[in-house]
Amino acid sequence: MNTKTAIITGASSGLGLECARALLRSDPSWHLVLPVRDVGRGGDAVSQLGEPQRCTVMPMDLASLTSVRAFTENVREADLSPLHAIVCNAGIQVVSDTEWTEDGVEMTFGVNHLGHFALIHGLQDQLARPARILVVSSGTHDPKKHTGMPNPGYTSAADLAHPRLEQSVHDGRRRYTTSKLCNLLFTYELDRRRNQGVTVNAFDPGLMPGSGLARDYPPVQRLAWRYLLPALRVLPGVRSTRNSGRYLAALVNDARFGGVSGEYFDGLRPIRSSADSYDREKALDLWETSERLLSHATK
């Protein structure tokens, strides 16, 4: 019998789908809500999961704050079991050009951070206790990791939301790594502000060749990401989406993580994140700017 609900963004494929699969298999009490841009793809994901009675597909586009607000209202009005978990997993990497959300915010920042900020903001009062919030970040946020990606470039959240139009060859990937730094800044600030009974943690899934993050790469790089890099899974830090999905589901469900909050997990191991991720001034700037962006979007 379903007695608790989890919301997983980006669950129509990749890491989110594997997290959903593992969560359904690990505990029969979970009902999953899959917020998706394309309800057809959401239906396909439910078919793959094989548990249609335990899944609800709802429309939501993280690139539209109006859509996120509509989703949170739908959750409030739906006949669901109490909400005990939110997994902020969906993410994009736009490298070919500068794209913008419906609200005029740079797309990578808008989807990877601001849309999830709005989601949590809209559902915090719906969380039953105990509850867990998981935010998927990435080791690419940390310059010391030498991932081959450009180092994050956090100046201010206002600059990230509305960057200059000049586009260099590295801008798209740098916006991605900076958005992953924002995920950590948001996680730690949310942990500082959290209510009793709610835990907040971040997760590094590792390098997952074959995931959808390379969809905007040039053709040769897309082919390498899909067909050649999977051979590197024997190396440390390189994982399949299925294994990372199991780890993420464990952070949502396993009793051993029930009282843990404010941590950054590499798989199931808590580690230190980058020095910048603990910068309270940056975290406050990100939080306050995000609140202003949400406020402007409602006017």
Among 176, 188, 217, 264, which one carries the catalytic annotation? 176
Structure tokens at 45: 């994901």
Distance, CA of 174 to CA of 147 (rounded, Å): 12
Distance CA 209, CA 222 (A): 10
Residue 17 is inside which H or E element, if any?
helix 14-26
Alpha-carbon distance 24 to 94, whole Å? 31
154 classed as catalytic: no
d(CA 176, CA 238): 19
Residue 18: other Cβ atoms inside 10 A: 24
Q: Which residues contact 40 (CB under 8 A, 6 or more apart)?
A: none
Q: φ, ψ for residue 175 (rounded to 5)?
A: -60, -35
* C-alpha to C-alpha distance for 277 and 79, rounded to whole angstroms: 38
Q: Where are the beta strands (DSSP E) in the chain?
A: 4-8, 30-36, 55-59, 83-88, 127-136, 198-204, 264-266, 269-271
From the list 62, 183, 198, the residue with the least C-alpha distance to 133 is 198
Q: Which residues contact 80 (CB under 8 A, 6 or more apart)?
A: 5, 31, 33, 56
- Beta partners for 266? 204, 269
Smallest Cα–Cα separation from 123: which of 29, 58, 208? Answer: 58
| Amino acid (1-letter code) at residue 129 | R
Enzyme catalytic residues: 176
